[in-house]
Structure 1
């Protein structure tokens, strides 16, 4: 039986202006890995091993690990489809910090489902897999949403349709944009970050949100990237969530001072990102964030771009 490894990249949820409906994959320009990996091979009984720099942050009970849940969910769906699934040995390489705002749980889920689907000769199509991924992600965050799992799986920047099929639409990318991203080292629960938000938004805020998202999508297709950058402002979550992020206002001020096109919170935080017009500018912002936004030894900063490809599978 073949042995496979799936690598699922980190992602930015919301991308500031697209709360719960917009997401983007991330790839460090220096080639370093910023994403979880799942290895799969034949076994007599199911097993899971967890390794990697952030493995110790996960619960010790492997039966409650999201990758274990992915396996059992996958087997149930295989049975419904009239297909057999054999036991496998899985290894999760946990390279992303938990509660980081980088789509950590999504990365584990996407890597697991992609590895399982490839191992069993691709019984499920992309939309079916995405639906499964979204359901497992919802078990962690408290609600089903695709703004991390979709770009992590498919790559690029994705817009969620709200329809069963297609679940997502790919948006055009600007190859000249660089993203300075920084994880501060503290953990912010997605559920807690959602609880801090108001249950309703006023009419003016709703109109601004809709206008910005519409202009952004149009501007990307029109290749008017200056217009696209001008509306990358979070009117839904950032005003409330930034209180959870020490140094956020100062980091935004520095980014604006050096000419960054936009600055925002990645997903629920604490990771932040700055959209920059050049690699040199992104490196300058990244250096500042590494020095002033990082809170402890777990924090890090990278200069990234949005990769066109998402999760990658390699035969071991």
Structure 2
């Protein structure tokens, strides 16, 4: 009988407005599962994928699960083999860290099978290789919170420096996912290659303000800092309902909104579950007017991250 372990990794919100490629947080309950089994023959093989409508590759050099595990096995100089089954709970191209959740769950399961040679923070190094395959950029602002949970700052990439941030009590997120697929690579392609000194200064102040707001549990400071002058102006044009929703939630006490990852999902942070629920009601009205179906999730910040089931 083959030894098998299944793991779960949660959805994530990356960028968090001003924190392009350096900030992210994890969502409760929503995510992917991956089962990894040891086998006698060397190599990695994806034997089953469910929930992807036949869109994800089985080739080991293209699948984020196997790419992430292979990076870990190379670090260990492990010569054995594994079989991988992926159970997608996240829609593709949603901006909720779909590829990251798959890689994170695969790594946690494989790491457990081998007796936990790495802690979860170390696994982030291997997960970013899967992101390179998925979207052409080895960013960690999805994989780090998916693995570690909570709010995460990527201070540097060379070498990778990952820092967990505090999460104020009562902070809730409403995710609004319109039925629209937006490819991450395409979304990155519309970004400006150069930014002005003025925009860089504004963005730096907002990043510092958001992190300070998290440490001080200052919802007002968090709200003032949820502004992106670099990625959002171009990406928002690809997302129907973005500005309509932002305008509609201004009067109900929500802290602010932004694009989740590369979109089309929009996140809204609120200081209570009640206000997060009001955001849901408003969001349904907005997308009804826009003419798109929408899935809406309300969640506290998930501080657990990926885990063995």
Equivalent of residue 273 in structure 1, options 237, 254, 267:
267
- Whether 2:74 is the aligned partner of 1:76: answer yes
Deviations 1:45-94 (A, max 9, x none): 45423444334332465763222333433332221xxxx34322221001
Name stretches of at least 5 consecutive residues in structure 1 with no aligned partner: 28-32
Distance 1:205 1:238 in 2: 12
The question of whether the paired residues in 2 share the 8 Å contact of 1:156 and 1:309 is answered with yes
Tell me the residue number matched to 1:39. Answer: 35
Shift of 1:143: 1.8
Tell me the residue number matched to 1:304. Answer: 299
- Whether 2:231 is the aligned partner of 1:233: answer no
Deviations 1:192-248 (A, max 9, x none): 111111101111110001111112222222232221221111111111101100111
Is the deviation greater in 100-109 or in 183-192?
183-192
Is the deviation greater in 303-312 or in 164-173?
164-173
Tell me the residue number matched to 2:252. Answer: 258
Tell me the residue number matched to 1:244. Answer: 238
TM-score in terms of structure 1 length: 0.89
Equivalent of residue 145 in structure 1, options 139, 150, 167:
139
Q: Counting strand residues as a fraction of each chain, which structure ranks higher?
A: 2
The question of whether the paired residues in 2 share the 8 Å contact of 1:12 and 1:25 is answered with yes
Task: Name the SS for the 2:106 alignment partner.
Answer: helix
Distance 2:33 2:201 in 1: 40
Distance 1:68 1:134 in 2: 12
Distance 1:274 1:42 in 2: 41
- Whether 2:46 is the aligned partner of 1:48: answer yes
TM-score in terms of structure 2 length: 0.91
Distance 1:74 1:52 in 2: 24
Provide the aligned length of Structure 1 versus Structure 2. 304
Shift of 1:129: 1.7
The question of whether the paired residues in 2 share the 8 Å contact of 1:14 and 1:267 is answered with yes
Distance 2:98 2:174 in 1: 18
Distance 2:287 2:98 in 1: 20
Q: Once superposed, what is the RMSD of the aligned Cα atoms?
A: 2.1
Distance 1:232 1:305 in 2: 18
Tell me the residue number matched to 1:30. Answer: none
Deviations 1:127-151 (A, max 9, x none): 4321111122122221221110100
Name stretches of at least 5 consecutive residues in structure 2 with no aligned partner: none
